[in-house]
């Protein structure tokens, strides 16, 4: 089970806030679904619960003890001081019993593990995707708009198997950077309520957003509270005012903000220059920008630095931007560090022999066809506005993709024109993602089955040596026919383009890719889930034979792998949040680090928090 002690509902809420911040910052679509179960503790089918415990490895004697404790249990109801006759309680876990939360968590974990095993969820980090955040019966699902309804249907179906019913009245959903239009999420054909971002108490969400205009195009785009405690601010020596000012560090902001009242206290006042930029609140209310000034700020005994500040009419605290925070040494950006196991020499020789398999982007045999539903009505989306600072980089990325023959320029009329989402990657490059909201609603999905994690691990029974292959830009390995390519036409400020290869974002992409990869690697001893291939063997000889066969087949079918993400000849490999090892399946230490490295409580308050969350 994947339960984290000392992690509670408030931690999940904080995690949701950070995720929303990240997706809004990069203009990525995200659907959040907040599930509520009807009479959750009272509805669980006990026979299914006992089976879940047995399958999870619970010793039979403990299962029998709990059966004896729960089976044939009776209750009475007291009404105006008088008790009713006894009646048999056949369902649910006993509320108030110390065992009940643990037993219920077993049920919820079983539902989510089975329901979400084939869904990628939301990409929340460089190498991390997340499908759900949950605490007892409170479940939050994360998905891209394409898979949201399917993910929700899967959870509802698996929950129904153990007697849990999802409330259509209390279950809500939130759409980030995505207009659900007339097709909201449903449960059993009942439309769910769509909720918007809210504030709690005196907290402001996205207190300031920088709106692009004819001048500079900067953004102040973060989640934070203006009434935070002192330790969430930092005192900087503001030279022109000759005193310390409490600034808020906002790593989501691209500009420094100085309230007018602070500027007027400066003596002497720095020169205020005019600016064409416009600052707006998250609610689109405009702020009065008086201009831009330059001032020297200093942290402790470090050398002072000159930075520009936007002077605005606001009662909020001064803000230090992301770049200024870095320049002053106040924050550092730490990226994921992976410790790779050394590759054995014998496998290095094999990799050299198949060096071509690790170069470029592949092309699987044949072409794929997108099929529209009957009565599909084409839509044309206008080009999305792009910040001026990104325009040249966008054109360079379009030219690069065109040169690679991933996309091509479109000049003829097309019925379908989609929009795109531009994402800035950690290395500064741009990623162009198709946003086919209307097209996806009108596509027939092939619904090809995706293997479960359990089906892959069964192949690894008795294995001692493991390798993992990661397909390079997997979906781009599939060519589209001409008619399907026209359907992927998208609009930019530089004109229309279309994908010649399968773009990311189509709801049929995962199904088609799984099918074509299984066709390419059929009859080989390996496990395959979308773009991840697992190869294992009982010894070096068996493993190497299977690895060579896979590389030979990849060369034959023109499949390419990303060598930086591959692992070769290791005693263990990370796979879907677990470690596949010679000793069986283990939790991935990278996923449990926050728990194992948590310091012991040092005072009564920390101890109480530990007790509440245990």
pLDDT in tens, 132-172: 887 766 788 888 888 888 889 889 988 888 888 888 888 88
CB-based contact 257:280 (threshold 8 Å)? no
Residue 585 binned pLDDT confidence (cut-offs 50, 70, 90): confident
Average pLDDT, the chain: 76
When comparing pLDDT for 199 and 254, which is higher? 254
Q: What is the per-residue pLDDT for 183? A: 57
How far apart are the C-alpha atoms of 266 and 429, rounded to whole Å? 40
- Left (φ > 0), alpha (ψ -120 to 50) or beta: where does 105 sit? alpha
Residue 218 binned pLDDT confidence (cut-offs 50, 70, 90): very low
Q: Among 109, 191, 107, 98, which Cα is nearest to 149's?
A: 191
Maximal CA-CA distance, the chain:
84
Report the SS3 class of residue 353.
Answer: helix
Q: What average pLDDT does this structure show over 25-43?
A: 78
CB-based contact 490:420 (threshold 8 Å)? yes
Q: Are strands 319-320 and 305-312 parallel, antiparallel or unpaired?
A: unpaired
CA neighbours closer than 13 Å in the CB half-sphere of residue 404: 17
Residue 264 has pLDDT above 70, yes or no: yes
Q: Which two tokens stand for residue 126?
A: 């460089």
Q: What is the per-residue pLDDT for 480? A: 92
Q: Which two tokens stand for residue 391?
A: 């325009």
Percent of the chain with pLDDT over 70: 73
How far apart are the C-alpha atoms of 596 and 589, rounded to whole Å? 9
Residue 46 binned pLDDT confidence (cut-offs 50, 70, 90): confident
CA distances from 50 to 45, 281, 524 (A): 9, 53, 37
Residue 594 binned pLDDT confidence (cut-offs 50, 70, 90): low
Instruction: Select the highest-mean-pLDDT range: 220-229, 298-307, 380-389, 555-564.
Output: 555-564
Q: Are strands 407-410 and 495-499 parallel, antiparallel or unpaired?
A: antiparallel
CB-based contact 286:210 (threshold 8 Å)? no
When comparing pLDDT for 608 and 464, which is higher? 464
Residue 224 has pLDDT above 70, yes or no: no
Residue 96 has pLDDT above 90, yes or no: no
Q: What is the per-residue pLDDT for 227? A: 40
Residue 87 binned pLDDT confidence (cut-offs 50, 70, 90): low
469-486 pLDDT per residue, tens? 988 888 888 999 999 999
Q: Which residues are 130's β-sheet partners?
A: 122
Q: Among 31, 34, 17, 41, which Cα is nearest to 136's?
A: 41
When comparing pLDDT for 204 and 185, which is higher? 185
15 φ, ψ to 5°? -65, -40
Q: Which two tokens stand for residue 337?
A: 């560090």
CB-based contact 180:144 (threshold 8 Å)? no
When comparing pLDDT for 299 and 559, which is higher? 559
How far apart are the C-alpha atoms of 116 and 499, rounded to whole Å? 30
Residue 84 binned pLDDT confidence (cut-offs 50, 70, 90): low
Q: Which two tokens stand for residue 444?
A: 């027939």
Instruction: Select the highest-mean-pLDDT range: 232-236, 315-319, 359-363.
Output: 359-363
Residue 494 has pLDDT above 80, yes or no: yes
Instruction: Select the highest-mean-pLDDT range: 123-127, 159-163, 275-279, 583-587.
Output: 159-163
Residue 125 has pLDDT above 80, yes or no: no
Instruction: Select the highest-mean-pLDDT range: 37-51, 405-419, 573-587.
Output: 405-419
For the chain, counts of helices (H) and of strands (E): 17, 36
Residue 317 binned pLDDT confidence (cut-offs 50, 70, 90): confident
Look-up: residue for tokens 């990240």?
22
Q: What is the per-residue pLDDT for 338? A: 44
Q: What is the per-residue pLDDT for 613? A: 46
Q: What average pLDDT does this structure show over 31-40?
A: 84
Q: What is the per-residue pLDDT for 485? A: 92
When comparing pLDDT for 12 and 161, which is higher? 161
How far apart are the C-alpha atoms of 505 and 422, rounded to whole Å? 13
When comparing pLDDT for 509 and 66, which is higher? 509
Residue 225 has pLDDT above 60, yes or no: no
Residue 11 has pLDDT above 60, yes or no: yes
Q: Among 41, 32, 38, 40, which Cα is nearest to 12's?
A: 32
267-308 pLDDT per residue, tens? 677 788 887 766 655 434 566 788 888 888 887 777 778 888
433-459 pLDDT per residue, tens? 888 888 988 999 888 888 887 777 777
pTM: 0.46
Residue 385 has pLDDT above 50, yes or no: yes
CB-based contact 178:29 (threshold 8 Å)? yes
When comparing pLDDT for 31 and 76, which is higher? 31
How far apart are the C-alpha atoms of 147 and 33, rounded to whole Å? 12
Look-up: residue for tokens 């074509």?
516
CB-based contact 239:298 (threshold 8 Å)? yes
Q: What is the per-residue pLDDT for 415? A: 92
Q: Work out the number of other CB atoms within 10 angstroms of the CB of residue 359.
A: 11
CA distances from 245 to 242, 258, 289, 332, 380 (A): 9, 10, 20, 22, 51
Burial 17-39 (b: 16+ CB within 10 A, else e): bebbbbbbbbbbbbbbbbbebee
218 Cβ partners below 8 Å, 6+ apart?
210, 254, 255, 277
Residue 208 has pLDDT above 50, yes or no: no
When comparing pLDDT for 90 and 404, which is higher? 404
Q: What is the per-residue pLDDT for 486? A: 93
Q: What is the per-residue pLDDT for 5? A: 47
Q: What is the per-residue pLDDT for 463? A: 85
Residue 107 binned pLDDT confidence (cut-offs 50, 70, 90): confident
How far apart are the C-alpha atoms of 499 and 487, rounded to whole Å? 9
Residue 549 binned pLDDT confidence (cut-offs 50, 70, 90): very high
Residue 558 binned pLDDT confidence (cut-offs 50, 70, 90): very high
Q: Which two tokens stand for residue 604?
A: 């009564």
Q: What is the per-residue pLDDT for 416? A: 92
Rg for the chain, CA atoms, rounded: 28
């Amino acid at each position: 089970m994947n339960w984290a002690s000392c992690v509670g509902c408030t931690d999940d809420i904080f995690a949701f806030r950070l995720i929303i911040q990240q997706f809004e910052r990069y203009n990525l679509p995200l659907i959040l679904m907040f599930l509520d179960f009807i009479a959750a503790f009272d509805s669980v089918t006990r026979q299914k619960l006992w089976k879940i415990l047995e399958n999870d490895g619970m010793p039979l004697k403990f299962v029998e003890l709990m059966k004896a404790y729960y089976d044939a249990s009776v209750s009475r109801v007291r009404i105006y001081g008088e008790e009713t006759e006894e009646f048999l309680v056949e369902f649910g876990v006993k509320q108030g019993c110390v065992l009940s939360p643990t037993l219920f968590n077993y049920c919820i974990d079983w539902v989510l593990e089975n329901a979400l095993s084939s869904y990628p969820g939301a990409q929340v980090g460089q190498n991390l995707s997340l499908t759900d955040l949950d605490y007892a019966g409170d479940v939050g699902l994360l998905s891209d708009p394409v898979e949201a309804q399917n993910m929700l249907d899967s959870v509802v179906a698996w929950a129904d198997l153990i007697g849990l019913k999802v409330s259509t009245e209390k279950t809500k959903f939130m759409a980030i950077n995505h207009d659900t239009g007339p097709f909201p999420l449903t449960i059993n054909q009942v439309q769910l309520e769509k909720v918007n971002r809210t504030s709690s108490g005196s907290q402001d969400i996205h207190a300031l957003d920088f709106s692009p205009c004819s001048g500079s195009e900067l953004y102040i785009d973060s989640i934070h509270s203006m009434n935070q405690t002192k330790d969430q601010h930092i005192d900087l020596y503001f030279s022109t005012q000759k005193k310390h000012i409490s600034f808020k560090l906002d790593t989501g902001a691209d500009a420094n903000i100085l309230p007018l009242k602070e500027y007027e206290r400066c003596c002497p006042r720095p020169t205020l220059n005019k600016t064409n930029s416009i600052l707006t609140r998250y609610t689109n209310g405009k702020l009065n920008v008086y201009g831009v000034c330059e001032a020297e700020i200093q942290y402790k005994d470090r050398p002072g630095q000159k930075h520009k500040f936007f002077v605005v009419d606001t009662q909020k605290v001064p803000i230090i931007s992301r770049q200024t925070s870095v320049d002053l040494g106040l924050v550092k950006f730490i990226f994921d560090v992976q410790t790779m196991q050394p590759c054995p020499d014998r496998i290095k020789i094999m990799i050299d022999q198949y060096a071509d398999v690790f170069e470029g982007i592949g092309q699987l045999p044949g072409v794929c066809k997108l099929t529209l539903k009957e009565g599909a009505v084409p839509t044309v989306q206008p080009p999305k506005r792009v910040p001026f600072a990104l325009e040249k980089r966008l054109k360079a990325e379009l030219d690069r993709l065109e040169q690679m023959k991933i996309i091509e320029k479109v000049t003829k009329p097309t019925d379908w024109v989609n929009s795109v989402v531009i994402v800035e990657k950690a290395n500064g490059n741009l990623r162009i993602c198709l946003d086919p909201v209307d097209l996806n609603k009108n596509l027939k999905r092939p619904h090809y089955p995706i293997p479960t994690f359990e089906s892959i691990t069964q192949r690894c029974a008795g294995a001692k040596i493991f390798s993992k292959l990661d397909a390079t830009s997997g979906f781009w390995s599939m060519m589209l026919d001409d008619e399907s390519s026209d359907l992927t036409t998208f609009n930019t400020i530089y004109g229309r383009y279309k994908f010649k290869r399968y773009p990311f974002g189509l709801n049929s992409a995962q199904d088609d890719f799984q099918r074509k990869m299984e066709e390419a690697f059929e009859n080989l001893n390996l496990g395959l889930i979308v773009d991840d291939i697992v190869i294992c063997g009982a010894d070096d000889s068996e493993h190497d034979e299977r690895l060579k066969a896979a590389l030979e087949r990849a060369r034959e079918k023109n499949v390419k792998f990303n060598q930086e993400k591959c692992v070769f000849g290791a005693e263990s490999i990370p796979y879907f949040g677990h470690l596949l090892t010679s000793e069986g399946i283990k939790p991935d230490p990278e996923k449990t680090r926050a728990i194992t490295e948590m310091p012991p409580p040092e005072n009564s308050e920390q101890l109480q928090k530990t007790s509440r969350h245990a």
